[in-house]
Structures are given as structure tokens and as C-alpha cells.
Amino acid sequence: DVVMTQSPLSLPVTLGQSASISCRSSQSLVYSDGNSYLNWFQQRPGQAPRRLIYKASNRDSGVPDRFSGSGSGTDFTLKISRVEAEDVGVYYCMQGTHWPPITFGQGTRLEIK
Amino acid sequence: QVQLQESGPGLVNPSQTLSLTCTFSGGSISSADYYWSWVRQHPEKGLEWLGYISYSGSTHYNPSLKSRVTISADTSKNQFSLMLRSVTAADTAMYYCAIGGSGTKIDSWGQGTLVTVSS
């Protein structure tokens, strides 16, 4: 199974500042069609996860453009610029290239300083 | 707009079978190229994928649970279901249903349902 490793696991951020979360996979996530099937999810307190980014860098509809995804191969990054209070929660990366099974990162908890 | 809603008992006795249903609206469960998954989250823990059923009816399960889990679908009701046998306290978790395309795998989630295993 592909192991997804996120860092940091805890991320205190000042309002208005930027935040960056790293996600590394134990194998390249490039599929035979050239896509990297790497999703990013946000889980606010008490809520279900919602997808922010798919195929490593594509923002979902309704997601603020403060959120951006990048990376390829085994290294991926979620960047949040100008962090707002509503961004508090846990962020997960997930790979769907080498499945089954789908595997998730451990989660990164973003909090406001 | 796609909506998913889990339903089922919130309390299950140890050694019994956990049964949950996910009702899908905003489309057809028979739509080509979609995968219907169950994911769970232990209290204050991360996400664990349990398995899927595809648009064609094929299934695949997480090896960690393979012998205890069954996922099925009732296309006439736009529903798919999870059965987890021989549960223990370690199966206490929030259970989510989710849908995704063949590439992205998980696009949307249900709101989740908390299942507690206790006598």
C-alpha cells in the first residue's frame, strides 16, 4: 500500500499569514494517463471532510483561490495564503493512483496563533 | 447537486453486525465511471478507507477488514450499503459514505453517522 506522510502534523498560523502543508507518498503518484491522483481535503471541527484540490493542483468549485495545490511524483504541497479564521481544521491528502486501497495522510491540524 | 446521506443504528452490540445505508440524490447510482466508498474515522483520529462498490457492481475492500466487510448497492433505491460483521469496540467510529470518479476516487462526502459499539 502507498504510505502518505504529511508534515507538519500541527500548524499554528497567524491570521493573514500563509501556511504550507507537505504530503509525500511512498511511490510516485503519476498514473499512466499522466495525471497525479492526489486530493486535498479540509475537515472543519464537527464537519465531514470536503475536497479542496483534485489531481494535485485543480481547485474545486467554490473553494477560495487562497488555496492552491502543487507538486508531482512523490512530493505535494497545499498552500493557504492569507489564512482566515474559517480555515481552522484538519487537512488531509489522499492518493487514488495506486488503488485499492485509497490511502490518506495522517492529517495536519491548522490552528490560529 | 450531489447529496449523500448515511443512515443506520447509532449503537451496535459487540459481536453483532453493523449495517449502514447511504442514499444518493442528485444523480444516478448507476452512472458510469463512479465509485461508491465507505470511509470511517475513529474519534480524534484520521481517515480509513473501508472499500468501494463500482458502477458496474464490482467491489474491493481494505485488506485490514476484508473478511468482515461487505458493500452492496440497490440501484432501484439509489442506495448503497455497508455491513461490518463481528464488531468490537475498536469499530466505534464516524462512518462516511463518499462518491468519486474513476480518477479522483473521492469527490463528495456524506455528513457521516456515528456508530458506537457497546453493550
Q: What is the pLDDT of residues A8-39, one digit of tens each?
A: 999 999 999 999 999 999 999 999 999 999 99
Going by their DSSP bridges, the two strands B3-7 and B108-109 should be labelled as unpaired
Rounded Cα–Cα distance for residues B31 and B54 (Å): 9
Q: What is the pLDDT of residue A94?
A: 98
Q: What is the pLDDT of residue B2?
A: 86
Q: What is the pLDDT of residue B69?
A: 97
- Residues of B near A (CB-CB distance < 8 A)? 37, 46-49, 51-52, 60-63, 96, 100, 103-112
Distance from CA of A24 to the nearest CA of B (A): 16
What is the maximal distance between C-alpha atoms in chain A? 42
Q: What is the pLDDT of residue A42?
A: 98
Q: Among A48, A99, A100, select the one facing B111 at the smallest CB separation.
A: A48
Q: What is the pLDDT of residue A4?
A: 98
Q: What is the pLDDT of residue B15?
A: 97
Q: What is the pLDDT of residues A71-96, one digit of tens each?
A: 999 999 999 999 999 999 999 999 99
**DSSP bridge pairs for A41:** A51, A92
Looking up cell 506522510 gives A5
Q: What is the pLDDT of residue B76?
A: 87
Residue A44 contacts B, CB cutoff 8 Å: no
Distance from CA of A56 to the nearest CA of B (A): 10
Query: A68 pLDDT exceeds 80?
Result: yes
Distance from CA of A47 to the nearest CA of B (A): 7
Q: What is the pLDDT of residue B70?
A: 97
Sequence-ordered strand ranges (E) for chain B: 3-7, 11-12, 18-25, 34-41, 47-54, 59-61, 69-74, 79-84, 93-101, 108-109, 113-117
**Residue B115 Cα distances to A46, B53, B66, B84, B110, angstroms:** 15, 21, 19, 11, 15
Residue A100 contacts B, CB cutoff 8 Å: yes
Positions of chain B with pLDDT under 50: none
Q: What is the pLDDT of residue B97?
A: 98
